[in-house]
Structure 1
Amino acid sequence: MTAEGILALARSAGVGADTRVLDVCCGTGGAGRHLVRTLGCSYHGVDADAEAVASARHHAVGLSSTYAVHTVPPLPVGEADVDVVLLLETVLAFPDKHALASAVAVALRPGGRFACTLEEGTPLTPVEREAMPAADTVWPVPLAEFVSTLADVGLATVSVQDDTASHLRVATALLTQFTAARDRIEAALGATFTDDLLASHRLWRDWMASGRIRKFALVSEREPIDGVLEVAD
């Protein structure tokens, strides 16, 4: 995602100075640092990768943010503890979208919002799974099916933005840069890693260019309990 895209999604979810944000699968925390510096929110990031979390902590010194190693689901908070759950570029990694949505709904306060990016499309074919590195983390889903799953757990989708064009530009630029730096990447990380990096970015570029995969930014709101939205004093 671009920095502008991250901010646009966060703002559409109502992120501001008094917002408690939980960033699921935060990686090294770049998006979170951008949000804290720009919007002033209270931020907690979680990721299953301990090395990524250590890097996030190192780069966030002095910011209003915390990080923890945690595998999702469930989410590492109590019921109705969070104003906004953020999930960027990782919905595709969860084969069980219902379990993910349920965990998000539990964590959000009534009226709280779930902001995510979605890799939209039908499941990969056997041929596509064979071509995609780490295909066990690539589970696209049709938009209507995902919105229905959210609704099933009490998350009403209030905003849908087709951001395929922006993501295609990013994927194309990354592929160009990675290809140019192939020798340096291979020297540092090995041939297998480099081959997989280029293959995956080439596939994402081609799939988005052809319409096989579309990228959406969604915001969904946790519905009021018993039809009454709780408002803090």
Structure 2
Amino acid sequence: MPTQHDRTRYDRALHGARVSAYAAGEFVGQESFMTAGEIRALAERAGIGPGVAVLDLCCGVGGPGRLITRELGCDYLGVDASASAVAIARQRAGDRPCRFAIGQIPPLPAGSFDVVLLLETMLAFADKDALLRAIAAALRPGGRFAFTLEEGAPLTPGARAAMPAADTVRPARLDEICTLLERAGLGLAWQADHSAAHLATAEALTAAFTADATRIAAEIGQRALDELLAAHRLWIEWLREGRVRKLALVAERV
């Protein structure tokens, strides 16, 4: 995975392959297996629209944020720990009503929100209980938490050894997440399984990165490319075997 200091380099190196891997209109600058259609559907399910205050945690370079503000309208704030990612997000936002801030999560920014988004990064948090309590506290009564989950058992020692940056890859079982949501005062209201779609996206991205390997390696280095491909191949294996499922969910503050 890219570090805070090389996000710009990764974004530039992988852009062409990412564009080619998605169907027309489905790549909007996201750094994940989600398609634009999946991002849009989750945002609509969470009730995002004009006047809705949205906090997007771990927003990266802001592709999903730009999509939802352009198509659905909202009062949007994206937060990410990477200064280089936030710089890219701000530059690409142009005159869209998107705000971006640099910050570690948790804590969450001050204020209250109608919707909190967490896309494709739940697995990076070791203390999911503290995270969900902070999210619940940031939501107004009736607010929604829209997120994705890499659902599965904790990694075995062998899987941890094989996965680059394994300390940021912590799947969790759905029943455990539901228990933590309830403790935080959040009730699960909706879920959808995108495992098959994400398997197809992971395969397409892996093929695109491999086809463009020479140019990508020249930008980010051979080791970084090898780790990128190794991670994608593991996700393909896990999704094919059902070891991990990719879920989209919405919880409401009760």
- After TM superposition, is the score higher than 0.5? yes
Q: Matches of residues 173-212 of structure 1 in structure 2 within 5 Å?
A: 173-212=204-243
Pairing partner for 1:89 from 106, 113, 120: 120
**Cα separation, 1, equivalents of 2:217 and 2:98:** 34
Pairing partner for 1:55 from 81, 84, 88: 88
Shift of 1:100: 0.7
* 2:106 corresponds to: 73
**Cα separation, 2, equivalents of 1:77 and 1:15:** 20
Runs of 5+ unmatched residues, structure 1: 224-233
TM score, norm. by length of structure 1: 0.94
**Cα separation, 2, equivalents of 1:148 and 1:176:** 38
Say which SS state the counterpart of residue 62 (structure 1) adopts: coil
After superposition, what is the alpha-carbon deviation per residue over 1:171-224, rounded to whole angstroms, capped at 9, x for unaligned?
11101101111111111110110000000000001100110000000100011x
Say which SS state the counterpart of residue 15 (structure 1) adopts: coil
**Cα separation, 2, equivalents of 1:77 and 1:165:** 37
Say which SS state the counterpart of residue 192 (structure 1) adopts: helix
Amino acid at match of 2:158: V
* 2:37 corresponds to: 4
* 2:167 corresponds to: 136
**Cα separation, 2, equivalents of 1:77 and 1:59:** 25
* 1:219 corresponds to: 250
After superposition, what is the alpha-carbon deviation per residue over 1:10-64, rounded to whole angstroms, capped at 9, x for unaligned?
1111111121110000000000000000001110000000000000000001011
Shift of 1:170: 0.9
**Cα separation, 2, equivalents of 1:74 and 1:113:** 18
Pairing partner for 1:165 from 154, 177, 196: 196
Tell me whether 1:25 sits opposite 2:80 in the alignment: no
Say which SS state the counterpart of residue 49 (structure 2) adopts: coil
Q: Percent identity?
A: 56
Q: Which runs of 4+ in 1 moved over 4 A?
A: none
**Cα separation, 1, equivalents of 2:213 and 2:188:** 41
**Cα separation, 2, equivalents of 1:99 and 1:82:** 18
* 1:226 corresponds to: none
Say which SS state the counterpart of residue 99 (structure 2) adopts: strand
Say which SS state the counterpart of residue 60 (structure 2) adopts: coil
TM score, norm. by length of structure 2: 0.86
After superposition, what is the alpha-carbon deviation per residue over 1:48-100, rounded to whole angstroms, capped at 9, x for unaligned?
0000000000000101110000000111123xx10000000000000111011
**Cα separation, 2, equivalents of 1:13 and 1:27:** 20
* 2:10 corresponds to: none
After superposition, what is the alpha-carbon deviation per residue over 1:149-190, rounded to whole angstroms, capped at 9, x for unaligned?
111110100001111111111111101101111111111110
**Cα separation, 2, equivalents of 1:13 and 1:98:** 21
**Cα separation, 2, equivalents of 1:209 and 1:17:** 39
Across the two proteins, how many residue pairs are aligned to each other? 221
Runs of 5+ unmatched residues, structure 2: 1-33
